[in-house]
């Protein structure tokens, strides 16, 4: 039923009498949303939120009003906050999916859409599902979509081997702050061989092998892997090894093979193994033959025994390289092992600058923020920016005015976030000091100024 102007007027009248009645206000805001009077709806949601700032339904409503007005980043800030909760409303996931689709990330959008429907089947949206290529009619291996992004739609297979999502990342190296040494290695070792194979052949240099990145959490390993794919416009297939291990009973070996096969079908493709230590540890610590089998198969796939790995860029990341089996380090496998340190001052300044791009900010002194955030990881810096944005947003909801972010907002947020990289170094230090075979951890020692 479409609400009439009379209904709206009556609601407004009632609100004049009891202005702090939240349900009434929410009802009005919703009616306005349905009528397509989005700016009025936004105003009503803001008013209600001024009374009940933690109200989830109101926040979601406001995000919807933003979305309808193409205020995408404002909507995204709210939605990301909502889905962080332990039991996010299906509506928030659904809206997140729409926002991701708008942002040109259909793969992640499909993932969020499925999440929404899993929480509440009622959230199903046939139109959106069709746009995302989800549904019974979707073919498992169709061609690219209209924009050439997806080779493999997110359609669910009724049976058969587990399918893996191939993403088309839109970020590239220029969106990754600092990390110059690692970028350079990736360029030399895996991007150039892909782009100019003749050059390498001319010098009789074999192409192949991957890069293993290690370091404290939140310092951009996963982010850079994704950007590598974006940089060369390749597909991106990320697997947490623990996912593979979970599937191990029965068919995980086939899954592993299927994974490599899918990457090969999507060439060029970055195949990224996250938490690769989980796999290595299983060979050393567990006596299961099944586990050893799995690792041997993994190594065989890396070696490209049965199929060519040309066009496949292999990256891996771990927080605990010391758990990784030495067999992974042989030539042609992960023969480059790179330390990814926390960002230095210059990198922190660059990262915060990147994170503020597109957000209302005014005269921010990035140097000062960088100085205040020693030992912060990239993820910690993101938390600082998020926190500062949230504070501004809260103010804006109250005052109805959008103030730009300033140095003092970020400095205040930085004071509230604890740097998270120290703990990792406490462990890493011991391995670097006492089991540093072949000097693999010299970089850690150098970083800690112990060598």
Ligand X SMILES: Nc1ncnc2c1ncn2[C@@H]1O[C@H](COP(=O)(O)OP(=O)(O)OP(=O)(O)O)[C@@H](O)[C@H]1O
Residues of this chain that interact with ligand X (CB under 6 A) are 176-179, 217-223, 317, 319, 343, 351, 354, 378-379, 382
- Residue sitting closest to Mg ion (CB): 222
Q: Which is nearer to ligand X, 116 or 176 (CB)?
A: 176
Helix axes 407-416, 378-399, angle to 10 degrees: 120
Kindly report the CA angle at 25 between 24 and 30, in degrees rounded to 5?
100
Q: Which is nearer to Mg ion, 26 or 275 (CB)?
A: 275
CB of 88 to Mg ion, least distance (A): 22
Q: Which is nearer to Mg ion, 95 or 238 (CB)?
A: 238
Q: Which does 106 bind (CB under 5 to 8 A by kind): Mg ion, ligand X, none?
A: none
Q: Which does 218 bind (CB under 5 to 8 A by kind): Mg ion, ligand X, none?
A: ligand X
291 near 217, Cβ under 8 Å? Answer: no
**What's the DSSP call for residue 312?**
E
Q: Which does 379 bind (CB under 5 to 8 A by kind): ligand X, Mg ion, none?
A: ligand X
267 near 314, Cβ under 8 Å? Answer: no
Query: What would you report as the CA-atom Rg of the chain, rounded to the nearest whole angstrom?
Result: 25
Q: Which does 217 bind (CB under 5 to 8 A by kind): Mg ion, ligand X, none?
A: ligand X
Q: How many CA atoms lie within 13 A of 356 on its CB side?
A: 25
Q: Which is nearer to Mg ion, 45 or 214 (CB)?
A: 214
CB of 33 to ligand X, least distance (A): 31
CB of 215 to Mg ion, least distance (A): 10
Q: How many CA atoms lie within 13 A of 20 on its CB side?
A: 3
In sequence order, which ranges of 335-377 are alpha helices (DSSP H)? 345-356, 366-372
Q: Which does 193 bind (CB under 5 to 8 A by kind): ligand X, Mg ion, none?
A: none
Q: Which residue has the tokens 């990881």?
A: 377
Q: Which does 150 bind (CB under 5 to 8 A by kind): Mg ion, ligand X, none?
A: none
CB of 171 to Mg ion, least distance (A): 14
CB of 182 to ligand X, least distance (A): 9
**What's the DSSP call for residue 157?**
P
Q: Which is nearer to ligand X, 58 or 179 (CB)?
A: 179
Alpha-carbon distance 239 to 225, whole Å?
12
Q: Which is nearer to ligand X, 38 or 273 (CB)?
A: 273
Kindly report the CA angle at 412 between 406 and 414, in degrees rounded to 5?
105
Helix axes 22-34, 56-68, angle to 10 degrees: 20
Q: Residue 268: is the preceding peptide bond cis (ω within 30°)?
A: yes
By three-state DSSP, how is residue 448 classified?
coil
Reference 242, options 287, 282, 215, 286; nearest CA is 282
Q: Which two structure tokens, joined as six digits, stand for 277?
A: 């230590």
CB of 364 to ligand X, least distance (A): 16
Contacts to Mg ion by CB under 5 A: 221-222
CB of 394 to ligand X, least distance (A): 22
Q: Which does 89 bind (CB under 5 to 8 A by kind): ligand X, Mg ion, none?
A: none
CB of 185 to Mg ion, least distance (A): 17
Q: Which does 177 bind (CB under 5 to 8 A by kind): ligand X, Mg ion, none?
A: ligand X
Q: Which is nearer to ligand X, 176 or 270 (CB)?
A: 176
215 near 319, Cβ under 8 Å? Answer: yes
Q: Which is nearer to Mg ion, 134 or 224 (CB)?
A: 224
């Amino acid at each position: 039923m479409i609400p009439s102007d009379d209904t709206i007027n009556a609601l407004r009248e009632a609100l004049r009498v009891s202005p702090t009645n939240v349900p009434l206000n929410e009802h009005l805001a919703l009616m306005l949303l349905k009528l397509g009077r989005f700016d009025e709806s936004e105003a009503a949601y803001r008013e209600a939120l001024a009374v009940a700032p933690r109200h989830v339904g109101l926040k979601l409503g406001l995000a919807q009003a933003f979305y309808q007005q193409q205020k995408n980043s404002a909507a995204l800030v709210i939605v990301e906050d909502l889905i962080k909760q332990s039991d996010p409303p299906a509506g928030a996931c659904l809206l997140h999916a729409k926002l991701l689709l708008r942002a040109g990330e259909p793969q992640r959008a499909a993932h969020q859409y499925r999440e929404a429907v899993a929480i509440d089947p009622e959230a199903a949206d046939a139109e959106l599902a069709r746009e995302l290529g989800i549904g019974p009619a979707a073919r498992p291996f169709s061609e690219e979509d209209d924009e050439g992004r997806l080779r493999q739609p997110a359609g669910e297979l009724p049976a058969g081997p587990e399918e893996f999502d191939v993403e088309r990342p839109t970020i590239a190296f220029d969106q990754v702050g600092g990390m110059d040494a690692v970028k350079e290695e990736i360029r030399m070792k895996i991007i150039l061989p892909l782009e100019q194979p003749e050059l390498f052949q001319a010098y009789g240099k074999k192409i192949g092998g991957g890069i293993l990145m290690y370091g404290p959490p939140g310092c951009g390993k996963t982010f850079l892997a994704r950007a590598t794919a974006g940089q060369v416009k390749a597909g991106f297939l990320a697997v947490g090894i623990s996912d593979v291990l979970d599937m191990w009973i029965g068919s995980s070996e086939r899954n592993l093979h299927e994974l490599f096969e899918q990457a090969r079908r999507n060439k060029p493709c970055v195949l990224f193994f996250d938490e690769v230590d989980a796999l290595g540890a299983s060979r050393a610590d567990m006596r299961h033959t099944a586990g050893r089998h799995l690792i041997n198969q993994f190594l065989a796939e890396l070696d490209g025994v049965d199929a060519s790995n040309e066009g496949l860029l292999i990256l891996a990341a771990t927080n605990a390289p010391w758990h990784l089996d030495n067999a992974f380090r042989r030539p042609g496998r992960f023969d480059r092992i790179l330390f990814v340190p926390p960002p230095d001052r210059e990198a922190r300044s660059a990262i915060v600058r990147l994170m503020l791009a597109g957000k209302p900010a005014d005269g921010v002194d990035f140097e000062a923020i960088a100085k205040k955030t020693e030992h912060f990881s990239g993820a910690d810096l993101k938390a600082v920016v998020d926190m500062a944005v949230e504070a501004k947003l809260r103010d804006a909801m109250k005052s109805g005015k959008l103030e730009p972010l300033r140095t003092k907002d970020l400095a205040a947020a930085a004071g509230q976030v604890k740097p998270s990289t120290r703990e990792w170094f406490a462990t890493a230090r011991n391995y670097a000091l006492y089991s540093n075979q072949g000097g693999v951890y010299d970089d850690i020692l150098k970083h800690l100024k112990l060598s």
